[in-house]
Amino acid sequence: MKAVIFDLDGVITDTAELHFLAWKRIAEQLHIPFDRDFNERLKGISREESLERILDHGGLSATYSKSAKRDLLVMKNQYYQKLIDNITPRDLLPGIGRLLCELEKERIKIALASASRNAPSILKRLDLINVFDVIVDPASLKKGKPDPEIFLAAAGHLGVSPVDCAGIEDAEAGIASIKSAGMFAVGVGNERAMHEADLSVRQTSDLSFDLLYEGWKRRMER
């Protein structure tokens, strides 16, 4: 294992909850039912595709013009950016700071594969911007998760072969992306959504270099 590629929202910090709150506010304005179960289908999915899924869910997809949809996307991002404004290094999920230190000590490369265009500003607020060897720019990609492109781009920029990488995700679409990139897939959280992962843990504090390395090695020996 030469590199670990992290998702951001829901793995490094709990911004998955902030995306939920911002989308909920939009859905309420549109009188579309929105709950945590439905929100699972948006995790790891781009802003534009998330809006399409919400409008479809409310049977309203054809009702909104391109420019009305653009306005909703701007509004959602404004709500979201207000929420992330308060993020500080204390908002790192449990165990993530320790894991990043262990990986650095073991000379494992570290990359970020987040679909979020807000990722760099969140990493700055968490005081982590200099920890990552590579941060993939989602605007440079053609396809979102579950396509493998984002994880393959991270490995490519690091100069590491995909089989020598582990990817960590909290979303079903993200696990599918890691798996089809040919990497070792580690899932965090909701076990039902994580059933395709090679290894899954309930919470970020369960992650460690040893756990990742042993799991990656076992998969290679299979």
Q: Please tell me whether residue 24 binds ligand B16 under the rule CB under 6 A.
A: no
**Of Mg ion, ligand B16, none, which one sits near residue 45, judging by CB under 5 to 8 A according to partner kind?**
ligand B16
Active-site residue among 7, 35, 91, 164? 7
- 3-state class (DSSP) for residue 21: helix
What residues from 150 to 179 belong to the interface with Mg ion (CB under 5 A)?
A: 170-171
**For residues 61 and 180, which CB has a smaller minimum distance to Mg ion in the complex?**
180
Q: Please tell me whether residue 149 binds Mg ion under the rule CB under 5 A.
A: no
Q: Which of 27, 96, 108, 115 binds ligand B16 (CB under 6 A)?
A: 115
What residues from 149 to 188 belong to the interface with ligand B16 (CB under 6 A)?
A: 171
Separation CA 48–CA 71 (nearest Å): 11
User: Which residues lie closer than 8 Å to 187 by C-beta, 6 or more apart?
Assistant: 168, 169, 170, 175, 193, 194, 196, 197, 199, 200, 201
Determine whether 85 is an active site residue.
Answer: no
Q: Please tell me whether residue 136 binds ligand B16 under the rule CB under 6 A.
A: no
Closest C-alpha to 182, from 213, 142, 151: 151
Number of residues in contact with Mg ion under rule CB under 5 A: 5
Q: Please tell me whether residue 117 binds ligand B16 under the rule CB under 6 A.
A: yes
CA triple 131-116-215, angle to 5 deg: 60
Determine whether 127 is an active site residue.
Answer: no
User: Which residues lie closer than 8 Å to 4 by C-beta, 6 or more apart?
Assistant: 103, 108, 109, 110, 111, 165, 166, 167, 168, 212
**Within its chain, how far is the Cα of 18 from the centroid?**
13
Q: Please tell me whether residue 9 binds Mg ion under the rule CB under 5 A.
A: yes
Q: Which of 50, 177, 200, 204 binds ligand B16 (CB under 6 A)?
A: 50
Separation CA 149–CA 60 (nearest Å): 30
Separation CA 98–CA 102 (nearest Å): 6
Considering the complex, what minimum distance in angstroms separates the CB of residue 45 from ligand B16? 6
Site of interaction with ligand B16 (CB under 6 A): 7-10, 16, 19, 42-47, 50, 77, 114-118, 171
For the annotated catalytic residues, the residue numbers are 7, 9
